[in-house]
Structure formats: C-alpha cells, structure tokens
Amino acid sequence: MTSFNRSTSRRLKKLTQIPSIWEGDRRPLSSSQTQPRDSESKGECILWVDGSQGIVRGMDVVSPELGPEAIVRTLMRAMEHPQSPAKPARPQRIVVRDREIQFYLRGVLQDLDIAIDYSPELPLIDELFRSFADIIDSQIPDLPPQYAEILQDKAFAIWEAAPWEFLEEQQILAIEINKWDIGTLYTSVMGMLGMEYGILFYRSEDSLKRFRADVLRDEESTQGLEEAFLKQDCFFLTFEQEEDEDEDEDLGDLPISEIEPTFGNIHPLEGLRSVLYDEEALVVFVALESLIRFMRDYRRQLYEDDFPTLSRRYRISLPNLDPETKSVSVTVSTMPKLAAELEEMAGFDLPDEDELDSTVFRSLRDDLIPEDSFLSLGVIAWEMLDSLRKEVNYHPVVNINQVGDGLPVILVQTSRPKAKTVIEKIEAAGGLKAICFNPGVDNYPGDFQDTLMPLQMLPEHHRYDLGLLQTENSELFLFGEFLDNDPIHVEARKKWNQRCENTQGYCALIIAKGLTGASRGNPQLKDMMALFEARSLTPRDLGLGTLQLMPQLEFE
C-alpha cells in the first residue's frame, strides 16, 4: 500500500485539527442515455464534505479506471486547499460508506490522528448526489435520442458526397417540404474554399439575402459580422475535427474517422443553439435525405460551369416513430436566378482589370502551380479514367483513342484551397490547351529573382527540361524544372513521349488535394478534384527555342 512521505505527513499534521466529521465518497455520475457522448456523465465524482458545517471542501470528477489514490488526492486538497469559504484544516473523524475505502484510508492516514469510520448512509452526500443527478438528467440532449443515430448517419453520408466540390455557397438549392410549419428550405453549401465545411438550411429566401447583404456591408467589422450571423434564420450542419491539433490543416484532407458533425439552429430572437428538438430533427433529416438523393442523381450536371436548371420530386420515408405520417413528398430544385442575383451582390460578374484579350504569347509565368506541390509524370489506366471523368471537375477534348496502358498525365497534388485556386485560374484562362516540355539553361546560377526569355542553345551551361502548361488564351505557365540529365526524369519523359504517340498527341493534367494528409504523394480517386484533357506539344510546335534563366536586377 502506498503511504505518504514523512515530510508530507509532518506538513499535514501541522494543520489545525477541528472537531468536525467529514463525509467522503466516490460515485458514478448519471448514466442517463440522454446525455451527449462526450459528457462528463461517464466519469465518477469524488466528494469530501464537512458534515458539521454543511459545506463542500473538495470535489473532483475522475475516470472510473483511476484507483483509490484519487480519493486521497481529493482529500488532501480538501484539507490544504479547500473550496471557499472553508479554511485549511484536518478533521477529527472521517465517515465513508465503502468498506474498501475505509480500510485503505486507515492505512494511508494512520499517522494523522484521524478516525476512519464506516456508515451505510451519508445523508449530506446522498442529498448532493441526488441534486447532481437531477441536474444532469434534466439537460436537453443535442439531438433527440430517437433520431440521433440516423442523423449522424446522414451527416456522414453528406461528408462522403462532398457537395462543396461542385457547389459554391451562392448556388442555392430549394427543398420544398410543406410540413411541420416549414415551406421551403433554401440550401447553401459551405466548403469550396477549404475553410468551413457544412450546410445551411435557410427558412426563407429573405433571410438568406439579408445575411449576404449584411456580410458584404460589414465585412470589415467583427461586431457587424457577429450581429449578421446571429440574425440568420436557419438550421445548420457543420463539420469539425474531433481534436483540433493543426489549425492550418484542411478538414477535407482528413479521414472520416476524425470528422465530427454538429447540428443546430440559428434564429434572430433565439440566437444560436447546438440542439435540435423533435420536429426540427425530422425537418433536417428530410432535408439531408432529399439532398443526398439529388446529388446522386445530378452530380455530373452540377459539376458544369454554368449552374443548371434542375428539379426532381422525392418521397422520403420517415423513421418508424409516427404511425400517422410514414412519408413526405419533397421537391428539390436548383435556383440559377437566385445564384446569379447573389453573385451580382458580391460583384462576381465584374470584369477583371488584368484580363488579357490578346491570344499572342506574352510571357512565361510561374504563378499557377504552388511551390510546395507534389508533381509527377505518369499514366492513368483507361478504366480509372472513365471513373474519374464522372467524379471530378472534367474538361474534355475530342474522343481519345484508348491505345496502350492509359492516358499520359501530369499530376499536381496540393492542399484543397490551393487546388481550387489552380482550377479557377485555368478555367478563367479558357481552359487548358496543351502540355509541353521545352529545353532551358541556367546561365547565371545564384540568388536572383529569375525570369525566362528565348535564347539559342548554350551547351556549356546547366540544362533543364521545363514543364509548361499552355492555356486557351495562349499564356504559358511553368509547372516544373527537371534536370536534363536526371535518369529518373529521362526515363519518365521517354515513357511520356511513347504514350503521347499512342494517344495521337493527347494527354491530361490532374489537380488533386491531400498534400498534408495520409495520401500525400499517392492521391486516390477521392482526392482528385479536376481533370483537364489537352494536346501534347513538342518544342518545335512551341517555337520558343531554348529558354534561359536570366537575373532580373532591381535598382533603387
């Protein structure tokens, strides 16, 4: 048996001994099934009270796995550092209702001149635990118990479907329910920017528009944004990381086992609450189920650049809890006109001042592919290509003859937000026209800010194979610099040229997320976000000659 150090015993004996009887016990908190799964109700509470004065001197909530030492640690705090208004002291007598605890304390406290007695009842502690149980059991659960599991399942189905990969926040879906005092829910999907992931179900179109207008007006004011947020009238489903270890990590790159869904309600007069009541839970269930079906039926169309006009009716079976209502008819529709109105409010339709009308080649840029990206030259099998075309943002060319082991591809893997930016830039340039490799030399190695310009071949200098992307507006973007004599790259280029010959000059660019996740360097189908099919051009087709790295000197 563990005992106090002698110095500890001497310190405790110096405490004033008061003529009081203390009660002590360790009991599990309420095991009510209505509590949230992360509630402390799964722990045990240790209490030490002064029965003579009727005050609590020490209290702890601990794991059930902890041994009897935990009750001694709480007792020590009750003596040396009691809760206010008690003063440090040691009792003359302690009463417990557990024989094992009694014998354990007798051994540990034998040098402190404290009598340890047993009593089957502890009136003051019994009353306190009854009060605790009433408080815990009266708490409202986050979700009604009868709907909790099915709502969690639907939330994870939404996460797997990832609607933020093809729906922007302003691309609203209307879900017409007409039941439980709900007419139509206006659905906004969050997550395309890789920041907040979730779905907002607005109870009215007016609430949605008002919130967007308030945010645009008060975007520089934290107080204004908070007020606008609390004035929303909607249900919400959001996704968060169970344990927030890395604030910069994109949730979209995490496995589903690390994702935790949260449901709730926002109303101007009620504020925010992460609780759904029975009818609200049914409404959200119906909305989620109809949304899942709609995405399943129209996923390919929703990937298109233009937000299409779509509508479909579904009959949703309800959980078998209400014998009077077994199902409800729901209509889900896209709202292109509302989306256009919201885009106009946000200024999305304003022309870019830097947009170039000329199709003449101006310069070679290096601001498209993020510096920390993972790059590879490879091939995608024809069978996988067919699946990929159905799942991602797909930009096709003419029909490609399926000859050889597959389509030659350049794979760029980065984080979801950066991947989204790359895709948007290529789309803004009209799409991808060609993928090219061109020779380059480094005539001035050093710490200069480099630019590239045409020059004839200079054999004595460092030689590179430059990977280039040509967009439809004829701009060229550098995606990689490879040493010309690197045997790994030489072999990869040899296979690239052979495969391009098999496909009659067709190839593709794949943009993938997951750079910081488990799939780093080996993205799976679920990580791939866009497929741009294009032509493969030779250096002769480009006609640029050899490009040379030149120092760009800046004078003050």
CA distance 101 to 123: 18
Average pLDDT over residues 1-10: 81
In the numeric block, the tokens 């101007």 are attached to 268
CA distance 170 to 335: 10
**Model confidence at 17: pLDDT above 90:** yes
Average pLDDT over residues 228-236: 90
Average pLDDT over residues 156-165: 92
Q: Nearest CA to 544 among 452, 431, 479?
A: 452
Q: Which of 172-186, 234-248, 254-268, 368-382 has the largest mean confidence? A: 172-186
pLDDT band of residue 46 (cuts 50, 70, 90) is very high
pLDDT band of residue 368 (cuts 50, 70, 90) is very high
**pLDDT single digits (tens) 68-85:** 999 999 999 999 999 988
Q: What is the pLDDT of residue 391?
A: 87
CA distance 83 to 189: 49
Q: What is the pLDDT of residue 511?
A: 94
Q: What is the pLDDT of residue 350?
A: 44
**pLDDT single digits (tens) 513-537:** 988 777 888 888 888 999 999 999 8
**Model confidence at 279: pLDDT above 50:** yes
The Cα-based distances of 374 to 83, 192, 392, 496, 533 in angstroms read 57, 21, 19, 18, 19
The Cα-based distances of 404 to 411, 481, 502 in angstroms read 19, 27, 6
Q: What is the pLDDT of residue 545?
A: 76
Q: Nearest CA to 45 among 57, 56, 60?
A: 60
CA distance 62 to 84: 21
**Model confidence at 155: pLDDT above 90:** yes
- Determine the residue type at 372: D
Among 326-335, 426-435, 453-462, the least confident range = 453-462
Cβ 29 vs Cβ 40: under 8 Å: yes
**Model confidence at 211: pLDDT above 80:** yes
What percent of the chain shows pLDDT beyond 70? 84
**Model confidence at 358: pLDDT above 80:** no
Residue 64 tokens read as 């059930």
Q: What is the pLDDT of residue 450?
A: 42
Do β-strands 115-118 and 90-96 pair in parallel, antiparallel, or remain unpaired? parallel
Q: Which residue has the higher pLDDT, 135 or 156?
A: 156
Distance of alpha carbon 535 from the chain centroid? 36
Residue 120 tokens read as 């089957």
Q: What is the pLDDT of residue 1?
A: 57
**pLDDT single digits (tens) 480-511:** 888 888 888 888 988 998 899 888 889 999 99
- Determine the residue type at 216: L
- The C-alpha angle with vertex 255 and arms to 254 and 257, in degrees rounded to 5, equals 125
Q: What is the pLDDT of residue 353?
A: 39
Q: What is the pLDDT of residue 12?
A: 92
pLDDT band of residue 307 (cuts 50, 70, 90) is very high
**Model confidence at 38: pLDDT above 60:** no
**Model confidence at 145: pLDDT above 60:** yes
Q: What is the pLDDT of residue 538?
A: 85
> How many other CB atoms are there within 10 angstroms of residue 415's CB atom?
22
**Model confidence at 187: pLDDT above 70:** yes
Would you call 320 helix, strand, or coil by DSSP? coil
Partnered with residue 441 across adjacent β-strands are 463, 548
Crossing angle, helix 6-13 and helix 69-80, to 10 degrees?
A: 40
**Alpha helices, DSSP H, located in 195-335:** 205-217, 222-230, 278-302
**Model confidence at 2: pLDDT above 90:** no
| Average pLDDT along the chain | 83
Q: Nearest CA to 15 among 69, 68, 57, 71?
A: 57
**pLDDT single digits (tens) 388-424:** 988 888 888 878 888 888 999 999 999 988 999 999 9
Q: Nearest CA to 401 among 496, 538, 506, 495?
A: 506
pTM over 0.75: no
**Alpha helices, DSSP H, located in 308-461:** 336-346, 382-391, 416-428
